[in-house]
Amino acid sequence: MTVAQPMALLKQARNRFTQREIAEHVGKTPKTVRRWEKGEIPCPVMLEPALRHLLQKPSVAPAEGNRFRFIDLFAGVGGIRMGFEAHGGECVFTSEWNDFSKKTYIENYGDNHQFVGDIVPFPAEDVPDHDMLLAGFPCQPFSIAGVSKKNSLGRPHGFECTTQGTLFFDVARIISTKRPKAFLLENVKNLISHDQGNTFRVILQTLRDELGYDVHYRIIDGQHFTPQHRERIIIVGLREETGFSWDDLKLPAEGPRLSSILHRTDGSEPVLPWDGDRFFDHNHQAVQAKYTLTPNLWAYLQAYAEKHRAAGNGFGFGLVYPDSVTRTLSARYYKDGSEILVYQGGKKRPRRLTPRECARLMGLPDTFRIPVSDTQAYRQFGNSVVMPVMREVARIMAPHIAAMIEQEDTGIAQPPLLFA
C-alpha cells in the first residue's frame, strides 16, 4: 500500500464531496483535508478503507430551487431530518423530550437553532414559521366520543374534542396555528387498525376535514433500502392540491442483504475515529467479543423457543445470515437481541448486531456518531426510521413544496418538477 493510493482516492472523493463532508467522514477538520490536497502534509495510508467506503455512498445534491424550512418534532436521532436535508430542507426548530436522544441529535446536527424538550406545554405561536412539519409522533389511544356532537355544533377546531390528551393533538395544534405548506407524519403500520380503525379515522378527519389538507398515506417497507423488514405508515399532507402522487416513488424491487451492513472481517472495515475499537477490533479484524451471547443467555433463548414450538406458537429468536433480511429492529433489542441474532458458525454462539451495525440497518451513514451507551443506542435505533425511505419521500415532496413557495413569492402557479 502506498501513499499515492489514498491521495488518488481523495481526488476521486473531491469530485463528489466537499472538504467538510470528507472531513466529517474520516474524523478530521476541513483544514486538514485542504492541506492533504495541497500536498502540505501526506494523506495517511490508514484512511484508504474510509475513503473507499465514502466513495461507495451516493452523493445527493438538492435539486436547484428545492429550498424549504422545516421543523422536526418527536425527532429521536434525526432520521427524518436527514432525509429531508438531502433534498434542500433546512431545520429551524427541533423537539425531543428524551435527554439521551437529544445528546445523539445535537452531536450529529449541532445546536444552531431552537431545541425544546417536551412539545406539549410549548405555545404553538412560538414555533418558528416553516414550510414543512415533520413528526414521528407516538401513537396513543384516541377517543372518538363526541365526534357526532361536535359535528352537530359545527365547532371549527373539532380536533380538540377528539385528540386532546394525545401527542397527535400537539401536532394538530401546531399545524392549525402555523399552517405549513406541507407535513409528513410517520408511525407504525398498526396505526391503521388501532381501536378497530377508529384512531386512524380520527387522524384523517382531523387533517382533512378540520385542518383542510390534501392528505395521502402509504405503508412503505424499509427493506427496499436496507436489509430490514420494517413497515411504517407515512402520512403526507399538502395545504393545496398539487398533483402529489405516491406513484412517483422509486422503490428498488430488490433491496440489499445483511452482509451490506455487517462489520467486514477481511480488512476492509472502515476505520472510524469516532468509534475507535468500541464495536470492532481492527487489530484482530473481529467484532468485539462482548456482542456474542453468553452461554446462559443462548441456552435460555433456545429453551424458550423450543417451549413455544412445542406449544405450536411462533415465538423464538431470529437467526440471520449474510444473505438475510432481518425482522424489525425493536427498542427492546438491548435486552437479549433475540429478534436479530447474527450466525457466527455452527460451533459458535450467535451475536447481537453492534450499535454501528444497527445504525447502518436504519440507513444512517458511518459519519453518524453514537455518543451514548450501547443500551441507549439500541433503544434509539429501535425507535428510529429507515432514513433512505424518508429521503425518497422527500425527493417526491420537495418539488411540490418548492412550487408552493414559488407561487407564494410570485403569485404565479408553477408546476412541480420532479428530479431523479
Contacts of 402 (CB under 8 A, 6+ apart): 63, 65, 66, 67, 68, 88, 414, 416, 417
- What distances in angstroms separate CA 358 from CA 71, 78, 228, 370, 392, one per listed residue? 26, 15, 10, 11, 20
417 has pLDDT over 70? no
Same domain? 192 vs 338: no
**161 is an active site residue:** no
C-alpha dihedral sign at 186, 83, 53, 290:
negative
Same domain? 28 vs 89: no
d(CA 341, CA 343): 6
- What distances in angstroms separate CA 63 from CA 52, 146, 365, one per listed residue? 26, 46, 21
Q: Per-residue pLDDT averaged across 144-153, rounded?
A: 41
User: CATH code at 232?
Assistant: 3.40.50.150
105 has pLDDT over 90? yes
Q: What is the DSSP string of 184-201?
A: EEEEEGGGTTGGGGHHHH
pLDDT in tens, 47-98: 888 888 888 765 544 445 558 999 999 999 999 999 999 999 999 999 999 9
Enter the DSSP assignment of 142: -
**What pLDDT is stored for residue 334 in this prediction?**
93
> Is residue 420 one of the residues assigned to a domain?
no
**Cα 419 to chain centroid, rounded:** 22
**What pLDDT is stored for residue 23 in this prediction?**
81
d(CA 249, CA 395): 8
Enter the DSSP assignment of 140: -
43, 91, 139, 358: the active-site residue: 139
pLDDT in tens, 177-205: 999 999 999 998 888 888 888 889 989 99
Same domain? 41 vs 92: no
Q: Per-residue pLDDT averaged across 257-267, rounded?
A: 95
Domain that holds residue 28: 4-55
Burial of 185 (0-12, 13-18, 19+ CB in 10 A): buried
Higher pLDDT, 326 or 63: 326
> Is residue 20 one of the residues assigned to a domain?
yes
d(CA 329, CA 417): 36
> Is residue 109 one of the residues assigned to a domain?
yes
pTM of the model: 0.79
% residues pLDDT > 70 (the chain): 87
The whole-chain average pLDDT of the chain stands at 87
User: CATH code at 24?
Assistant: 1.10.260
**What pLDDT is stored for residue 119 in this prediction?**
92
> Is residue 61 one of the residues assigned to a domain?
no
**What pLDDT is stored for residue 7 in this prediction?**
86
pLDDT in tens, 128-138: 999 999 999 87
350 has pLDDT over 60? yes
Q: Per-residue pLDDT averaged across 389-409, rounded?
A: 92
Same domain? 80 vs 208: yes
Q: Per-residue pLDDT averaged across 18-45, rounded?
A: 82
**What pLDDT is stored for residue 143 in this prediction?**
41
Neighbours of 164 (CB within 10 A): 13
> Is residue 247 one of the residues assigned to a domain?
yes
Same domain? 156 vs 273: no
Q: How many residues in the chain?
A: 420
**What pLDDT is stored for residue 19 in this prediction?**
76
165 has pLDDT over 70? no
% residues pLDDT > 90 (the chain): 62
- 236: helix, coil or strand? strand
Same domain? 375 vs 389: no
- What distances in angstroms separate CA 293 from CA 207, 230, 302, 311, one per listed residue? 46, 24, 12, 25
Same domain? 177 vs 105: yes
How many domains, the chain?
Answer: 3
295 has pLDDT over 90? yes
**What pLDDT is stored for residue 276 in this prediction?**
94
Residue for grid cell 422503490: 251
